[in-house]
Amino acid sequence: MDFPSPLPPSLFMTGPLGLSNVPDVPFMCSWRDALTLPEPRPRTSEDGAPRRAEGLLWELDTPGPLPLLPPGPDPWDPGVTARDLLFRGGYQFRRQPRAVLDGTEQLSRFLWDHGDIAFAPLGQLMLENFKLEGAQSRSKKKTVVSVKRLLQDLGGHQPWGCPWAYLSYRQRRFSILGGPILSTSVASLLGELLHEELALRWQRLLLDDTFTGGALAWVPGRTPAAGQLVYPAGGALDTLYFQKVSLSPGSEPRVLGGPGHIQLRGPVRQVVTRTVQGEALLAVRSDYHCGLWSVGKQGQPAPLQMLQVEKGATGISLSPHLPGELVVCSRSGAVCLWTPQDGLRQIYKDSETLVFRDPSPWRWADFTAHPRVLTVGDRTGVKVVDTQGPPGCGLLLFRGGAEASCQKGERILLTQYLGEHSPECLHPTLHLVCTQFSLYLVDERLPLVPLLKWNHGLPSAPLLARLLPPPRPGCPRPLLLAGQAGELLLLHLAGEGASAPRLAGPPQSLPSRSDSLSAFPLLEPRSQRWLQERLKAPTIGLAATIPPSASAPVLSLFHLSAAGDVFHQRLRLQAEPGPDPPVPTASWTPQATARCGRWLKALLEVPPAAPVWAAPAFSHRRLLGCFEPQKPDGKVPEGLRTAMAQGRLLRPRDLGLLLSEERPPAPEPGPGDELSERLEAAWEGRVAGWWERQRGASSGPEKQPKRPKRRTQLSSTFSSLSGRLDLSDAPSPPPSPDQTPAEARLQPPVTPPSQDLTQEPWAQGVPSERRQTLRDYMAELPLRGDSPGGASAPSSQTSSIRATPSRQQAAVPSGSQSQRKKPRMGF
Amino acid sequence: MSDFSEELIRPTTEDEQAEPCVSSGTGMYFPWLQKRIETVATGGKQEKDFGQTTSACFGFIREALLKHQWQKAAEYMCSYLQILEDSDSNKRQLAPEIIWRLGSEILYYHPNSSVETFNTFADRMKNIGVMNYLKISLQHALYLLHHGLLEDANRNLSQAETWRYGEKSSSQEVLINLIQAYKGLLQYYTWSKKKTELSQLDEDDYAYNSASQTMLSHSWKTSINLCALIQIPGVWDPFVKSYVEMLEFYGDREGAREVLTNYAYDEKFPSNPNAHVYLYSFLKREKAPREKLLSVLKILFQIVPSHKLMLEFHRLLRKSEKEEHRKLALEVLFGVLDFAGCTRNITAWKYLAKYLRQTLMGSHLAWVQEQWNSRKNWWPGFHFSYFWAKNDWKDDKALACEKALVAGMLLGKSCSPGATEEAQWGRFAQKPKQPSWNIGRVFVTRCGSWWSNCSSELCGLEHACWP
């Protein structure tokens, strides 16, 4: 095998990651990799134009991927979000918002919703204090409560369903008895567990590594244009589907027949396929099981062996060299070589990470160019391990450290062996390492020094990568990289023989599923949001294939979402990427929108996910029976009763009340009108007259209604302030258009606290001993509304005391840079 | 203010401080954390409008770049320049670097951009935020170099070389060394051009003398420029190669040897196979004793057993008188053929077939056994499977012949290591029928016999295949 020579220059520095004084020699621009050092005899530069022909550009057929298969019959729920887990209050003095898990709310919700679970075990604890038989207690002990009575008291009421349930003295005693236990044990025991669970959920929300590697696979069929998609579906992703698909260069792929399926016992996390020596194999990883199938020539899967992984499996890889050989990693830190004939053989075991020596629940392994040597990776590094050598020894291939000039907090998310069985166009010794920031290419013959580093800038975790064969002989090989949130990047890797691997041309981003939203018919907002959520579901699988064709190569790209939807996108290689490539614009074809419409129709028929918990329902009919003998007196109880009997909401209309007086108050003719009035005047060129009127009105006797005016006066102060500025700055009637938005901004409905003080209710929240002080203080201030001249001055004074932000907002009309900066620099 | 990279790290560390609030315990940094929190937390310090617009603009530029819309990206770039006035000092310091990266990327690919545009942009950027001067100069020079403007690049590097700012930090020093080295490399290019011209001139010519004079002065300058960098641990293949070539030309063999030995054996350097290759080819040119060559190749063998020089190593070992060398010769061949990229290397197979026979004839059965023992459970499936037999026969008959010969020797009945294997496989084959998937052993059994049959059938072909 050729080794690239000369290698691109790079500095080698050992040390921890984030080391400060490493000059970033493998610069991260993509064009940097296009720069190769000229040969000793510099070629005569013909026209000085850089070589650009190498970069490949793929044209999109449609602006976004299209659904390939109808949606599954099971509903899908996006699960917990950050909103469910985090404390919603803000911190005042913090540069950046922090993530604080909201244990209190979760605990109270849990106790409220699942009181039975939370408190039932406590009954066991308190058993000696209960007497189960109903006879009169002969015990002198006051600490024993008869359960029968208690239950009778509780009657049909559910104490956690109805906070106003009648409290008998027995219940009172029970609560006194149970109080210490209930308050301390529940909170401490449950709180701890709950916090642990919340932290776990939050971690999973930040990085869900269970689907690392991807759960969608393309198994090529007998002809290159046909094959099978293998993917999990069903509500729990526990059914493995085999869908035959035929590809044609001119049209969308055709789905052939219904899918075959295999029901598994756990959710499918990873599906790997490889064709080794003409035999297609399929390996599946679930949480605690792994399975191996062989796919026959006709496409029928035949199970070979199943494996139980007690601690949980984190990764599975199929050997590209020997048929039926796999490597499985478990959460315990063990890596095993697995062949159906010989069974498992542990080749590596270390519960700690390679570099930091901290616990490592995630481990990954893959093959190398040597069939007996494996790579073992965790979050901090990748090691090359010889399966025939003594256990535990090996060389570090990649280290999250200064060697690769890693940033602080940078961790490995995915490692993949890129040497498929076609060594043309790329060295068969390359490994891909992805972190949350960058992508590295490492050659196993040159450990620790990445041959390529590129900052991918994906806004989510890149957990899926697929290297494809070259679309044309001699072309660079496309590498697809997918972020968990659906972002897709297409890069091209070149470099064979004596040249080092490099990025060929600038990378290209491909549309994600949510880009297809415009192809779907518009729905009512609720369903639209639902559809949007569904399209935004995390990507858990990626498969691509380039069937050989006579004309321009076509890349068929499939992705699988966590909701079980398989989407498809076709990309066509642009024939001649000239010096000025026309920006390809694709638009939705009628067929595409029709397809989306059909899919959506099927989706809308899927019943929505049942809520995890529903509030306990009261048997109101029983209560209704109790009340029956009473004579209906009046319209309100009557309405109440009918509403209860029908089990629907009680609306004001049912009570026959005309609640006109309690309608939400209509907007008072306040600042808005004043503003529009003024604008109207300004447009007509009569702003000066308007101002005069306004002056006259405000200097008149104070006869404004008090409460609603409190807010309006502030904004009118500001607006009049700016109105006055208008006058002085631009006496000519037509105001420049850029002043209008400034004015509009000037009347936000905020009430600075200083204004509260000028009104009557200010005294309410103030301790009585301080009221006098405040009153004196207020008396010193010239109250607003005395005169237009005084109106602007005091408000700015008072607000400078307590309402600095609003003053700033008011003082800077149209945000010119120099004006904005000054006050800040003064601080 | 000492170092740019420090500043690059700083915002990250701040986020780090924000993160431990959540009991993650791993110290991992999530770039998407901020966005998640922002969906919830409404309090805290909100990003200002200014920050929001710049980050949105950054997003648009990135999107345009990834969609190859250079014109659009350039338009957004005009607006993005406002980041230089950010009130956040951290962001302001990072800004020139980001602008340079985005801007140079746009200008590199933009259809209407020219070298002049790029020059103007680079010259402006060099002087915004002094910390980037060296870095941008270097990249600018590389750009010019790539466009064939060697003189401009040289001028650029010379300017950057003399630039100093404040206290000389270690990263600045490395960058200056790197700049000097690139300058040295440029001088080497002119030198080697002169050398080719010189080789075409007559030695008695007057022009010859003057040309050789200029060459001498060039080499002196270059050696100063190059030797500083190659002391620093790193991968400096092009620099070392050209430096050694010049040293050699002027007869400084000791100097060249020292440079290469240091480059190959210094423990602070990464284990770069090319360093050993360069040392080996230097020693070979120097007609060094075989022992010396062997010791260099032996280390290369330990680092990269699949290197193409291994076949040469095998040839050297084969000729050696020493027993251990001849044993190693066998190991080297097996080692080469272990790798997936070398399975179709017909020379290696040819050598192996020949050498196996030689070894067995020389009654060194134990050597073969030793090598075969660690491979007997996977070589048959890896090399001698039915699939490969069929394919090789179809694609490359000569290769198939060589493989068949080797398989015959290793698996066949004729020689003892194979005989025991065969007996074992024979037992396997007699077992009740295995499930269809079990191609591993059953197939191999069948193929093993196929291969050995093949080898006996092919005896006639043997001479045709062997040189």
B192 has a pLDDT exceeding 70: yes
One-letter amino acid of A820: R
Residues B238, A6: contact at Cβ < 8 Å? Answer: yes
**Structural contact between residues A570 and A555, judged by C-beta atoms closer than 8 angstroms:** yes
To the nearest whole Å, the CA of A76 is away from the closest chain B CA by 21
The candidate with the shortest Cα–Cα distance to A248, out of A476, A551, A461, is A551
Q: Which residue of A has its CA nearest to B111?
A: A580
In the predicted structure, residue A524 carries a pLDDT above the cut 70: yes
Closest C-alpha to B273, from A429, A377, A452: A429
B60: pLDDT confidence band, cut at 50, 70 and 90? very high
Q: What is the pLDDT of residue B39?
A: 72
How far, rounded to the nearest angstrom, does the alpha carbon of residue B106 sit from its chain's CA centroid? 28
Q: Is the pLDDT of residue B65 over 50?
A: yes
Q: Is B19 an interface residue toward A (CB < 8 Å)? A: yes
pLDDT score recorded for residue B17? 38
pLDDT value, residue A735: 40
Question: Which is it for strands A438-443 and A430-435: parallel, antiparallel or unpaired?
Answer: antiparallel
What confidence tens digit (pLDDT) does each residue in B247-279 have? Answer: 888 888 899 999 999 999 999 999 999 999 999
Average pLDDT over residues B144-149: 83
Distance CA A245, CA A257 (A): 9
Query: In chain B, which residues have their Cβ closer than 8 Å to the Cβ of A52?
Result: 109
Residue A504: name the closest of A461, A547, A466, A454 by CA.
A454
Q: Hey, what amino acid is at B86?
A: D
Tokens representing residue A717 in the block: 């102060």
**Interior angle at CA A314, CA A310 and CA A317, nearest 5:** 110
∠ CA B364-B365-B368 to the nearest 5 degrees? 100
Q: Which residue of B has its CA nearest to A56?
A: B68
Contact A445 B304 (CB under 8 A): yes
What's the token pair of residue A790?
């005084």
- Three-state DSSP class for residue B105: helix
- Alpha-carbon A401 to chain mean position: 28
CA-CA distance, A348 to A366, in Å (whole number)? 13
How far is residue B308 from each of residues A240, B274, B298, B333, B345, measured CA to CA in Å?
45, 12, 13, 11, 10
Indicate the DSSP class of residue A50. Answer: P
pLDDT at A495: 81
pLDDT digits (tens, 9 = 90+) for A480-522: 999 999 999 999 888 877 888 888 888 889 999 999 999 999 8
Instruction: Report residue A566 as tokens.
Output: 């398989």
Q: Do B387 and A277 touch (CB under 8 A)?
A: yes
Asked if A320's CB is within 8 angstroms of B340's CB, the reply is: yes
Residue of A nearest to B84 (CA): A817
Q: Are A792 and A721 in contact (CB under 8 A)?
A: yes
Cβ proximity of A675 and A719 under 8 Å: yes
- Residue whose structure tokens are 């190669």: B241
Confidence of residue A452 (pLDDT cuts 50, 70, 90): confident
Residue with tokens 């198939």: B400
How many angstroms separate the Cα of B467 from the Cα of each of A711, B142, B316, B336, B354? 101, 48, 19, 21, 10
CA distances from A554 to A58, A61, A252 (A): 9, 10, 11
Helix/strand/coil for A77: coil
d(C-alpha A795, C-alpha A717), whole Å: 8
Which DSSP category does A305 fall into?
E
pLDDT confidence of residue A23: 43
Question: Phi and psi of A283, rounded to 5°?
Answer: -115, 140
- Taken in order A399, A403, A404, A408, the sign of the CA dihedral is positive
Lookup: tokens for B221 = 């300058």
Residue in A with minimal Cα distance to B28? A409
> At residue A317, does pLDDT exceed 90?
yes
Instruction: Name which of A10, A20, A200, A463 to mutate to probe chain B: the one with the most chain B Cβ atoms within 10 A of its Cβ.
Output: A20
Q: Cβ of A9 and B236 within 8 Å?
A: yes
Q: Determine whether the interchain pair A277/B135 forms a contact, defined as Cβ–Cβ distance below 8 Å.
A: no
Distance (Å, rounded) from C-alpha A200 to C-alpha A80? Answer: 12
Give the ranges where A660-705 is alpha helix by DSSP (H): 671-684, 687-699
Please, what is the average pLDDT of chain B?
77
Tell me the pLDDT tens digit for each residue of A268-297: 999 999 988 888 999 999 999 999 999 988
pLDDT in tens, B1-57: 333 333 333 333 333 333 333 334 468 888 888 777 777 765 545 566 788 888 889
What does the pLDDT average to over A182-202? 81
Residue A86 to residue B189, Cβ atoms within 8 A:
no
Q: Of B313, B301, B304, which is closest to residue B351 (Cα–Cα)?
A: B313
Edge-to-edge strands, sheet with A395-399 = A364-367, A373-377, A381-386, A395-399
Instruction: Report whether pLDDT(A198) > 90.
Output: no
Minimal-distance CA residue of chain B relative to A23 = B171
Report whether pLDDT(A742) > 50.
Answer: no
B467: contact with A, CB 8 A cutoff: no
Interface test with A, best of B10, B378, B443 (most A CBs within 10 A): B378
Q: Both tokens of residue A396?
A: 């570090």
By the 8 A CB rule, do A480 and A557 touch? yes
CA B275, CA B221: separation in Å to the nearest integer?
Answer: 24
Question: What are A201-236's pLDDT values in tens digits?
Answer: 888 888 899 999 999 999 988 888 889 999 999 888
On the question of pLDDT at B422 being above 90, the answer is no
Interval A307-332 mean pLDDT: 92
AA identity, residue A50: P
Q: What is the pLDDT of residue A773?
A: 57
Residue A397 structure tokens: 């291939």
Question: Cis ω on the peptide bond leading into residue B417 (within 30° of 0)?
Answer: no
List of chain B residues whose C-beta atoms are within 8 Å of the C-beta of residue A449: 235, 270, 272
Number of C-beta neighbours around residue B435 at 10 A: 14
Q: How far apart are CA A282 and CA A272, in angstroms?
A: 6
Q: Is B160 exposed, middle or buried (0-12, 13-18, 19+ CB in 10 A)?
A: buried
The pair phi, psi for residue A357, each rounded to 5°, is 60, 40
Q: Say which residue, A78 or A96, is predicted with more confidence.
A: A78
Closest by Cβ to B44, choosing from A52, A97, A206: A97
Of residues B303, B396, B338, B349, the one with CA closest to residue A321: B338
CA distances from A62 to A252, A587, A588, B243, B266 (A): 11, 6, 6, 54, 56
Nearest CA in chain A to B102: A29
Q: Rounded to an integer, what distance in angstroms lies between the CA atom of residue A245 and that of residue A231?
A: 13
Q: Flag whether the ipTM exceeds 0.90.
A: no
In chain A, what residues touch B23 (CB-CB under 8 Å)? Answer: 199
Residues 6+ apart with CB under 8 A from B211: B194, B197, B198, B201
Structure confidence at residue A711 (pLDDT): 40
pLDDT over threshold 50, residue A740: no
At CA A249, angle to CA A245 and CA A255, rounded to 5?
Answer: 20
CB of B33 closer than 8 Å to CB of B69: no
Helix, coil or strand: residue A565: coil
B positions 198-227 inside 8 Å of A (CB)? none
Task: Give the pLDDT of residue A138.
Answer: 59
Residue A309 predicted with pLDDT over 70: yes
Neighboring chain A residues of B274 at a CB cutoff of 8 Å = 3, 5-7
Residues in chain A: 827
Question: Which residues on adjacent β-strands are paired with residue A348?
Answer: A335
Chain A residues near residue B43 by CB distance under 8 angstroms: 89-92, 97
Q: Which of B14, B15, B30, B307 to mutate to test the interface with A (most CBs of A within 10 A)?
A: B30
**Pairwise CA distance, residues B411 & A436, whole Å:** 49
Q: Is the pLDDT at B414 greater than 50, yes or no?
A: no
Q: Chain-wide mean pLDDT for chain A?
A: 74
What is the spatial distance between Cα A684 and Cα A180, in angstroms, rounded to a whole number?
75
pLDDT tens-digit map of B97-131: 888 888 888 888 888 888 899 899 988 888 886 77
CB proximity list for A63: less than 8 A, separation 6 or greater: A511, A515, A516, A518, A519, A586, A587, A588
Helices A103-113 and A115-125 sit at what angle, rounded to 10 degrees? 80
Which chain A residue has its CA at the smallest distance from B269's CA?
A12
Q: State the pLDDT confidence band at A42, using cuts at 50, 70 and 90.
A: very low
Judging contacts by C-beta atoms under 8 Å, the chain B residues touching residue A442 are none
- Quick check: B431 contacting A, CB < 8 Å? no
User: Closest Cα of chain A to B189: distance in Å?
Assistant: 5
User: Are B14 and A202 in contact (CB < 8 Å)?
Assistant: no
User: Cα separations (Å) of B61 from B57, B97, B114, B250?
Assistant: 6, 15, 20, 52
- Output the six-digit token pair for B74: 């350039």
More confident residue, A132 or B49: B49
CA A395, A401, A406, A407 torsion-angle sign: positive
Q: What is the pLDDT of residue A583?
A: 55
The band of B187, judged by pLDDT with boundaries at 50, 70 and 90, is: confident
Return the HEC string of B223-262. Answer: HHHHHHHCCCCEECHHHHHHHHHHHHHCCCHHHHHHHHHH
In this prediction, residue B46 carries a pLDDT of 58
Query: What's the residue count for chain B?
Result: 467
Tens of pLDDT along A144-166? 767 776 666 665 544 454 555 55
Is any Cβ of chain A less than 8 angstroms from the Cβ of B273? yes
In angstroms, the Cα distances linking A198 to A191, A311, B321, B378, B409 are 10, 21, 71, 48, 64
Compute, in degrees rounded to 10, the torsion defined by CA atoms B247, B249, B251, B256.
Answer: 30
Q: Find chain A residues with C-beta within 8 A of B235's C-beta.
A: 7-10, 12, 446, 449
Nearest to B228 by CA among B241, B240, B215: B240
